[in-house]
Amino acid sequence: MLTCNHPIPPDRYNERVEDHLRITGFYHASQIGIMQCQKALVNALIERWHPETHTFHLPIGECAVTLEDVALILGLPTDGLPVTGMTMSSFEALEAECLIQFGVAPRKSDCRGSCIKLTWLREIKENLQLIDDISIQRYVRCHIILLIGTILFGDKSGAGVHWKFLPLLRDFISIGQYSWGAACLAHLYRALCWASHFNCKEIDGPLTLLLCWAWIRLPYLSPLPREPRSFPLANRWRNWERGDRRYRYLKLAHFRKAFDELQEGQFVWVAYAVDRVDPNIIPPEIYMQSVVWSATVPLVSFEYIEWHATDRFRRQFGFVQGLPSQERNLEKAHGETLTGPKNLN
C-alpha cells in the first residue's frame, strides 16, 4: 500500500493582513485546518484511477475531481491566467528572487536543490514586523508560499517548496489573477497518474482535496463531519479523528469492497445542490467563476499539463451524459519534469 505524505497547513496568519490576503485569492484556503489522512481510502481511489482518461472508473460510471470541487472544497480561484513561467535552476537567481520577495536571501543550507526549506520560510514569517505595506506584503507572500508547499502543491518530501512559484507573487495585485485552483487540480491529477504506476510507493499532492471530494460524493464512506456549515467545505472534516476514531482504522479491503459493490444512488452526482450545501455559506466571488467549472480544458501548472475531461462525467454538473470524446493524448507533456538541460534556458 502506498504511503501518503499529508503535510499540515501553515500556522495561522496575523489578523492584520486579512485584507491583503483577500486580494490574493488565498484567504479562503488559509482557513483550512488540520485534517487527518485516511490512507486506505486514498489507496482505494488510486486503484480506480485511469491516467488515459483522467477519471476514476467506478461501477456507476466515470467521475473525477473537478474545478467546481476545487473552488468549493479549497476556496481557490479557478478562472484566470495559467500558473506558469520561466524556471531557472541557479542558486544566484533564487537568492535574488528571495531578496525581492522577502528582503532577505536564504543560505545554501536553507535550500534543497531548487526548493526552499519550509523551516526557513516559517522563520521569516514569524520574525517579520508588520509595520508598513511592504512588510505586510512580504508576510502574505511568505504565507502563500507555505500554503503552496503544504496542502496545495506539497511534494513527497513535505519539507520544501520549489521557488518557481515566487515570480508569480512578485506583483502583489496580480497574484489573484492566476488560476491557482486549476494548478492545484493539475497537481492532483499528476499525483494520481504517478501513483497508479505499479512501481510507485508514495503519493503526494493535495490529498485534502482528494479526501474531501470522496467524502462529499460518497457520504456513506465518510467520517462524521464536525463543522457542516463551514467554508471552505474542507473544514467540514477538520480534526475529524477526534469524533470518529473508528474511521481511522478502516482497512483497504473495506473501501475496495465498497467500490466494487457501489450502486447507483450511493454516489452523489450533483453534490453542491441547495439541499446539500447551504448557498449562503458560499462567498459570491466563488460562484462568479462557475462559468469555467464544466469546461473541457487543459489544466496548467508549469511542467504539469493535465486534461479536465468533463465530457466524460457530465452528470457531475447536472447534465445528461453523452458519448465522450476520444481520450486526449498529451504526449510528452504528460510526464514532463523540471530536471535536465532543457530547463537551463
pLDDT tens profile 41-55: 999 999 999 999 999
Q: Grid coordinates standing for 145?
A: 508560499
Give the residue-averaged pLDDT of 172-178.
Answer: 97
Contact 48, 57 (CB under 8 A): yes
DSSP 85: -
Higher-confidence position of 327 and 314: 314
CA angle 6, 9, 13 (to 5 degrees): 175
Mean pLDDT throughout 77-87?
A: 95
Range in 5-14, 160-169, 181-190 with the lowest mean pLDDT: 5-14
User: Which whole number is the average pLDDT over 203-226?
Assistant: 95
pLDDT at 2 over 90: no
The grid cell for 168 is 508569480
Residue 8 confidence (pLDDT) above 90: no
Burial of 252 (0-12, 13-18, 19+ CB in 10 A): middle
Distance CA 125, CA 186 (A): 28
The mean pLDDT value for 199-215 works out to 95
Q: Please report the pLDDT score of residue 343 as a whole number.
A: 46
pLDDT(342) > 60: no
- The pLDDT assigned to 310 comes to 96
Task: Give the C-alpha distances (Å, rounded to integers) separating 126 from 32, 139, 142, 299, 342.
Answer: 19, 9, 10, 34, 37
User: In angstroms, rounded to a whole number, what is the distance separating the alpha carbons of residues 180 and 78?
Assistant: 6
Q: Look at 5-9, 83-87, 197-201, 340-344 and tell me which has the smallest mean pLDDT.
A: 340-344
The per-residue pLDDT for 293 is: 98
Instruction: Please report the pLDDT score of residue 338 as a whole number.
Output: 57
> How far is the C-alpha of 316 from the C-alpha of 319, rounded, in Å?
7
Residue 325 predicted with pLDDT over 80: no
Using CA atoms, how far residue 200 sits from 2, 29, 205, 298, in Å, is: 7, 29, 14, 25
pLDDT over 70, % of the chain: 94
334-344: average pLDDT: 52
- With a CB cutoff of 8 Å and minimum separation 6, the contacts of 188 are 65, 205, 206, 209, 210
For the stretch 111-139, pLDDT in tens is 999 999 999 999 999 999 999 999 999 99
DSSP E strand boundaries for 237-317 = 297-301, 304-308
Residue 275: pLDDT above 90? yes
Q: All 3 cell numbers of residue 311? A: 465530457
Strand order in the sheet with 160-162: 111-112, 115-117, 160-162
Of 217 and 333, which is predicted with more confidence?
217
Separation between Cα atoms, residue 171 and residue 57, nearest integer Å: 42
pLDDT at 333 over 80: no
